[in-house]
Chain A
Amino acid sequence: MIGAGRTKQYANVLDKPLSKGRQEVSLSAFSFLFSEIVQYNQTQVDNIAELERRLEDAGYAVGARVLELLCHREKGNRRETRLLGILSFVHSTVWKVLFGKVADSLEKGTEHEDEYMISENELLVNRFISVPKDMGAFNCGAFVAGIVKGVLDGAGFPAVVTAHFVPMEQQQRPRTTILIKFAEEVLRREAKLG
């Protein structure tokens, strides 16, 4: 048998020790892969809304797993149960692991009680993307919106999450805002908890 490498074989994926999450790949490896995801999904849809929905679905699957992984590894098997707690978990813990930094801002919507916004000046998935004119307001951030939705849903905070471009005065490219609109029951429960 020749050089079986360092990788050890485990009968079951759960026997394998959990990685510390310090392994890295190149930024372009991710970007190439993401570009393929967008291109593939484009072949499966007829319109922009559907494309965004499919990207969101892909992200959702990532988010659900991220929640489980991070609660276990970063939070000692504890999960946030309060609204602000889970939001700051997304804004700080999740963002830091996935994107290497905390998100640029977390704000409460001014017009609606149930809306929160996480904004990023240069979101990873939009970094190498230029949207053709005929694709209107299409935003690849739908993938990240899906991740956020996956985390929130999994944690018991169902919400509608969408990604939007917001033009900024100080910079050429618009920033991406992830808009989170919580379900009614979440706010009711939160009010009860006081």
Chain B
Amino acid sequence: MQNAELFTLTYGAIVRQLLTDLEDVDEVNKQLDQMGYNIGIRLIDEFLAKSNVSRCVNFKETAEVIAKVGFKMFLGITATVTNWDVDGSSCSLVLEDNPLVDFVELPDMCQGLYYCNVLSGVIRGALEMVSMKTEVTWVRDMLRGDDAYELRLKLLKQVPEEYPYKDDE
């Protein structure tokens, strides 16, 4: 385990670098999401190797596993899964705590920033590696004045696993 403060401050440093380099909050949001995606597609391997979870039968179970096992394993927090739509393809993850935002306050010039956008990218990337195309967006963000951190998780498509796998040419 690793002290969360170094993690928090390091994340802050990268967000600041992006803001300086890209000079546009939308671009920063995109880049943070991309970084999260890059992390997600690698992180899923470690998750599957260490978590001992069995195959999820449906998207509902997947969401629960992310909220209770995934968040716990990497960030030491958990989330609550709520607000399912009727066909069980989208839901909300409400974070109980958020180590990314300690010491953080958004200045006026950054009001459009989704500070924690890396998280949505991580989930999207990780799920893509287990054949689920998803869309992950922030619905509520306390840094923007809301009363909680809430991610909306929407299953777009279950990509069938292709078999036999093609060897690299």
Contact = CB atoms under 8 A, between A and B. Distances in A.
Interface stretch (A7-15, A80-88, A155-163, A166-174): A7-15
A44 B94 contact: no
Interface string B75-90: 1100010110000000
B74 A5 contact: no
Contacts of A57: 17
11 contacts: A5-B97, A7-B97, A7-B149, A12-B105, A23-B99, A24-B3, A27-B1, A30-B2, A30-B7, A61-B16, A124-B2
Given A13-B103, A36-B39, 4 more contacts: A2-B92, A7-B95, A24-B3, A97-B3
Contacts of A193: none
Contact of B94 (A4, A41, A58): A4
A3 interface: yes
A194 interface: no
Nearest to A96: B3
Contacts of B82: 2-3
Interface of B: 1-7, 9-14, 16-18, 21, 31, 35, 38-39, 42-43, 46, 73-76, 80, 82-83, 92, 94-99, 102-105, 118, 142, 147-149
A124 B7 CA distance: 12
Secondary structure at the A interface, as helix, strand, loop or mixed, is helix
Contacts of B6: 30, 62, 97-99
Contacts of A7: 95-98, 142, 148-149
A69 B43 CA distance: 31
Secondary structure at the B interface, as helix, strand, loop or mixed, is helix
A141 B12 CA distance: 18
A145 to B, nearest CB: 14
Most B Cβ at <10 Å: residue of A21, A23, A41, A58: A23
Nearest to A26: B74
Interface of A: 1-7, 9, 12-13, 19, 21, 23-30, 32-34, 36-37, 39-41, 44, 54, 57-59, 61-62, 65-66, 69, 97-100, 124
A25 B75 contact: yes
Contacts of A30: 2, 6-7, 10
Contact of B103 (A39, A58, A65): A65
A62 B3 CA distance: 14
Given A3-B82, A58-B17, A33 B10 contact: yes
Nearest to B46: A28
A24 B12 CA distance: 16
A98 B68 CA distance: 27
A9 B147 CA distance: 6
Contacts of B42: 32
A58 B14 CA distance: 7
B10 A69 contact: no
Nearest to A40: B35
B74 A9 contact: no
A39 B38 contact: yes
A5 B12 CA distance: 23
